[in-house]
Amino acid sequence: MGETVRVEVGGGVATLTLNRPAARNAINADMRRELTAAVEIADDPAVRALVIRGAGEKAFCAGADIKEFVPPASLVDAREERVGWRWVDALAACRKPTVAAIHGYCLGGGLELALACDIRIATADAVFGLPEVRRAIIPGAGGTQRLPRVVGLGPALRMILTGEHVDAQEAHRIGLVSEVVPDLDAAVGRLAAAFLRVGPRAVAYAKEAVTRGVNLPLSEGLRLEGELSTLLTTTQDRVEGAAAFAERRDPAYTGR
């Protein structure tokens, strides 16, 4: 896809690798642009899931590139600049399952990127934080909104208001990551295998039901769930799933 984001597709999984290891994969303008474009690979029916990783041994992503922290010409210019920052929203809007495979530093914009994923797994050396207040700014790519929804208000406020880091075990305790693993490749492989066993349209609808429904009153969320569930009753995959179960074989889902 470009110099700052490598894209590899295999076995139904698209792996997007943040590729600035000398800068601990810090996010610059090129990476934001390339990552936004790279996420579009999820539109390929052959892609069943996206995995985000960081190149090198030190970091998943250490946050924004400080070298680009220059004052805008005006407040209007600053607001116009933010309009183009779709790099996190594009990932959050992906209808396929998304996984952040995290090692080393996962800070600032890197953590905001991980928070936009559905599942976060980490190695024991991972370090998480939103240190923006230490630089007299706030998390501006979704951190103040997504972190409380993932870990709860108390833990989120402590991390955001102090800028303190948490290690992998604490991240697991508060629910920031679903598991701490010794081998990211093996863990990603297990998740990929699980995604390939399930109906792709069912996964997309289930994700929509959860991500939209969590912000709705329960009655409206249940209505959304019912509508999406009803839509699935008309699919070929539903018939195939029932037949495969009855015949004690693996289903051959097509997404139709």
Q: Which among 155, 94, 153, 97 is positioned nearest to 128, based on CA atoms?
A: 155
Residues 40, 57, 132, 170: which is the catalytic one? Answer: 132
In the numeric block, which tokens belong to residue 15? 């792996």
Pair 106, 121: CB distance under 8 Å: no
> Please, what's the b/e burial string for 72-89 (b: 16 or more CB within 10 A of its CB; e: otherwise)?
eeeeeeeeeeeeebbbbe
d(CA 109, CA 137): 12
Q: Is 170 noted as a catalytic residue in this protein?
A: no
112 is catalytic: yes
Helix axes 153-162, 143-151, angle to 10 degrees: 140
Contacts of residue 74, Cβ cutoff 8 Å, sequence gap at least 6: none
Residue 115 CA to residue 17 CA, distance in Å, equals 16
Q: Contact, 54 vs 60, CB < 8 A?
A: yes
**Structure tokens of 55?**
């190149």
Q: Which is catalytic among the residues 3, 8, 112, 220?
A: 112
Instruction: Give me the amino acid identity at 166.
Output: V
Active-site residue numbers? 112, 132
